[in-house]
């Protein structure tokens, strides 16, 4: 699932990613922009997503990303892997990893590298 949390309407990158995932043979649920962490967590559970990719270009990642992880955990869905991307300073990486974000991709990351990360790290449930 690809989601854009918070007050950030720039979803070109998220859409390019969704397309790349499609071409990699994944089923991609795209939720659109301006999603609250609550909406994203609820959608991920309803869709039984394997992985949620959060895109944030607004600078609010330090609040939004951990919040999604926390909500999933609170609903017994901490097996859903959360990764993130966007305009994220490297200085924030340790904080986000600590908060349970499993991978972070910033501008310049190759689409293939993101797809490969998912292929390597997401274990098919069946």
Give whichever of 46 and 120 is closer to other proteins, judged by the CB atom: 46
Give whichever of 75 and 121 is closer to other proteins, judged by the CB atom: 75
- Count other C-beta atoms under 10 Å from residue 16's C-beta: 11
As measured in angstroms, the least distance from the Cβ of 98 to other proteins is 26
Burial of 59 per CB tally in 10 Å (0-12, 13-18, 19+): middle
As measured in angstroms, the least distance from the Cβ of 43 to other proteins is 5
Query: What DSSP letter does each residue of 48-85 carry, written as one string?
Result: T-SEEEEEE-SS-HHHHHHHHHHHHHHTT-TTSEEEEE
Q: What is the DSSP letter of 7?
A: S
Give whichever of 75 and 106 is closer to other proteins, judged by the CB atom: 75
As measured in angstroms, the least distance from the Cβ of 105 to other proteins is 19
Give whichever of 17 and 104 is closer to other proteins, judged by the CB atom: 17
As measured in angstroms, the least distance from the Cβ of 97 to other proteins is 26
Report the chain's C-alpha Rg in angstroms: 13
- Count other C-beta atoms under 10 Å from residue 106's C-beta: 13
Contact residues: other proteins, CB under 8 A: 18-19, 21-32, 35-36, 38-40, 42-43, 45-48, 75-77, 125-126
């Amino acid at each position: 699932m690809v989601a854009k949390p918070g007050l950030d309407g720039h979803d070109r990158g998220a859409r390019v990613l969704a397309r790349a995932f499609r071409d990699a043979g994944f089923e991609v649920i795209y939720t659109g922009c301006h999603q609250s962490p609550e909406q994203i967590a609820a959608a991920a559970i309803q869709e039984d997503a394997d992985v949620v990719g959060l895109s944030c270009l607004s600078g609010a990642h330090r609040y939004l990303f951990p919040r999604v992880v926390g909500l999933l955990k609170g609903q017994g869905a901490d097996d859903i892997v959360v990764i993130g991307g966007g305009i994220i300073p490297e200085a924030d990486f340790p904080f986000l990893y600590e908060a349970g974000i499993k991978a972070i991709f910033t501008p310049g990351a190759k689409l293939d590298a993101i797809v490969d990360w998912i292929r390597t790290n997401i274990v098919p449930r069946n």
